[in-house]
Amino acid sequence: MNLGQVWAKGAVAGALAALALPAPLGAQDIRPGLSVRDLPRPGYETGRWQAGNTTFLPVLTVQSVWTDNLFATSTDPKSAVIFGINPRIDAISRGRRLTLETSAYANVALHSRYTTEDRVTFGLGTAGRRHLGQTGALKFGLRMDRGAQARSDPEASPTLERPALYNSFQVRLGAEGDAGPLRIGADGSIQKVNYLASGESDPVERARLEDQDLTSYQLPVRIGWRASPRLTVYVEPFVNRRDARLPVDRTGIDRDLTTWGAQAGAQLDIADRWNGSLGIGAFRSNPDDPSISGYSGFSMSGNLVWSPDPRTRVVFTGFSGDVATVRSGATGRIDTRAGVRIEQEIRHNLLAFAGIGWQQTRYRGSNPDRLWSVPVEAEVEWLMSRTLSLFGTVRHENRRSDLASDRFKRTDIGVGIRVRT
């Protein structure tokens, strides 16, 4: 397929996606203040439609991205242009005691030179909160996604014929409530991931994809003490369980394991200045396979938002913990990530976003390996009208590794439009 055919297919798909959007019903803010994009902006209010007590926000994004290393390889990088069509609709329903948030999306990626990389992904999910009295609540959620494994994923095989697709299903159920200055909450989840190995002709690669099928169970319990109206300190013990679909993988290893741990931290809610939480602690992973020894590590999770002024937002994120792996020779994997993202309204209709991160993956086993990278990205969006905006993006990542085959450099540059009707 040549580039002209890619653009033609993209135009048709974009038109169909636009026709699928419902007719406008009215305007109302969904969640003010969550992002610079959501700030009050007279004359440029995003398209939001009202039907009863439900508000809808439909968005259609069309973009082209040039990448200089499509397959994220250490040698002989291949460049390509990727045409993307991304319709999405979010909805929120607010009742007297029940709040529901629902989202549906689709991502179509068409490649100018390597059509085997073309893919369609999509998802649908809803999350609810049922208030119980003044201080208690039940939380629940359902989610389904058809995803594609990125070529840059450390678990992705470089010899796959096309990006691996998978189905993911998740169920969440939790509760929280106050007892004087104490606040107790639990948020359990079950997630099932199934890779679509039947599309791969190589039996070795099919077996590798089947090894990644698993079911995960997570149960964190947070016990907090309200030190002040704006500060809550907490401890959060947790247990995670991973059950692979196959009893043993292609190398004869049982990948099932149980991870225990705990974090201590603080949750901030200082007016419009600081919001979010940060916890640090430790974990212990115990594999079911008697030939694999257990291991411990540093645990961290957090998301803090700092708003020095109404038109600036700085988001700090962090994570460290045990992660599933099917790499041959690896008996465990520990990921650590940290990042900061800045959102800034430069002018009334000109927005800027920039971020930098640090990522490290450490493998345990007979072939220990470390991968680390510092991704940097930026975006500028010009709001031409209430319904139409133009944007440009740039992203660069340089991944280093103990193994030469895991190293790569990649730069992506993109332009696109967003339509909010």
pLDDT digits (tens, 9 = 90+) for 327-381: 888 889 999 999 999 999 999 899 999 999 999 999 998 677 899 999 999 999 9
Of 144 and 273, more confident: 144
Confidence category of residue 34, pLDDT binned at 50, 70, 90: low
**CA gap 292, 270 in Å, rounded:** 46
Note the pLDDT of residue 77. 95
CATH class of the domain comprising 3-419: mainly beta
Note the pLDDT of residue 271. 64
Of 233 and 3, more confident: 233
Note the pLDDT of residue 47. 62
Note the pLDDT of residue 19. 30
221 is written with which tokens?
């319990």
**Is the separation of the CB atoms in 48 and 27 below 8 Å?**
yes
- 3-state SS record for the chain: CCHHHHHHHHHHHHHHHHHCCCCCCCCCCCCCCCCHHHCCCCCCCCCCEEECCEEEEEEEEEEEEEECCCCCCCCCCCCEEEEEEEEEEEEEEECCCEEEEEEEEEEEEEECCCHHHCEEEEEEEEEEEEEECCCEEEEEEEEEEEEECCCCCCCCCCCCCCCCEEEEEEEEEEEEEEECCEEEEEEEEEEEEEECHHHCCCHHHHHHHHHCCEEEEEEEEEEEEEEECCEEEEEEEEEEEEEECCCCCCCCCCCCEEEEEEEEEEEEEECCCEEEEEEEEEEEEEECCCCCCCEEEEEEEEEEEEEEECCEEEEEEEEEEECCCCCCCEEEEEEEEEEEEEEEEEECCEEEEEEEEEEEEEEEECCCEEEEECCEEEEEEEECCCCEEEEEEEEEEEEEECCHHHCEEEEEEEEEEEECC
State yes or no: pLDDT of 392 exceeds 50. yes
